[in-house]
Structure 1
Amino acid sequence: MAALIRDRQLIADVNALETVAVTELDVAPTAFEQVLDLLQEAEFVELTRNPAGEVTGLTEKVPMYRDGLIAIPPRGKPLQHRVGVL
């Protein structure tokens, strides 16, 4: 999903994004919010929420990888320790 939203700086229609994620990327409707939370944890997006906690928009910050690969550590490591260039 990160590749889908890259270069679209601001996404205000989260429902449309969910529809595309579900129909085109086979993201389970029940997992959509978890995917957004993971993208935020990876600092690939900044979510905007209403007072009820529902996602109302997002700003993308998906990096472009041109000169290297991102290091993927062993399972179980917190995500904040996963980002790094080889």
Structure 2
Amino acid sequence: MDRQYSKFQQKAIKNFYDNRETLGIQRLGELVTDLYLAEGKKREKTWEQVESALKNTGMKPDRISHLRKQDDPALLAKVVQELSA
């Protein structure tokens, strides 16, 4: 089913995909804050979200697993800073 989008909708869709990487990095920054505050099951759930977000940035799986094993929000914050540079 082909759908015809208005010019406004086409521009909004294009902008979303053009800025998807920036949005992902911003989301990672928010997740770092959540990790500092989270404990127990909430922390595990947050790490799952972090892993998913890191995969979307194209990071290698071995580096993601290393970050997960370290379980250090400060280390993750450095990675986010590196990605945003």
TM norm structure 2: 0.33
Higher relative contact order at CA 8 Å, sep ≥6: structure 1 or structure 2?
A: 2
Greater per-residue helix proportion: 2
Which protein has the larger Cα radius of gyration, Structure 1 or Structure 2? 2
Greater per-residue strand proportion: 1
